[in-house]
Amino acid sequence: MKKTAKLTSKGQITVPHEIRRALGVQPGDKLVFEKKDGNVIQVTPERARDPFEKFRGIENPGIPKGRKGVIRWMRKMRGH
């Protein structure tokens, strides 16, 4: 796949849609530019070491912690 992007006076580019999809990046993600041999630049998405890192701290509001708390919540939800 070969796509082009125009460089602005501030050194910014818009990554073409097809390239963003191929890299699996979304707004706010970071890209790493790495110079290889000659004029070759490799662009890769910056990934956290743990693929679940972005979910850290997300909770289920209203559901208590622990096995007993979850069982109580399930029974209450089911009307028992």
Report whether 25 contacts 19 (CB < 8 A): no
For residue 73, the surrounding DSSP H or E stretch is helix 67-77
In a domain, 6, yes or no: no
Range scoring the smallest mean pLDDT among 10-14, 51-55, 69-73: 51-55
Query: Under DSSP, is residue 32 helix (H, G, I), strand (E, B) or coil?
Result: strand
In a domain, 64, yes or no: yes
Q: Give me the chain's average pLDDT, please.
A: 85
What counts of helices (H) and strands (E) characterise the chain?
Answer: 2, 2
In a domain, 61, yes or no: yes
Domain containing 42 equals: 17-77
In a domain, 10, yes or no: no
57 confidence band (pLDDT: 50, 70, 90): low
Q: Distance between the two ends of the chain, CA-based, in angstroms?
A: 58
Q: What is the pTM of this model?
A: 0.54
In a domain, 67, yes or no: yes
In a domain, 70, yes or no: yes
What is the arithmetic mean of pLDDT over 55-77? Answer: 78
Q: How many domains does the chain have?
A: 1
32 confidence band (pLDDT: 50, 70, 90): very high
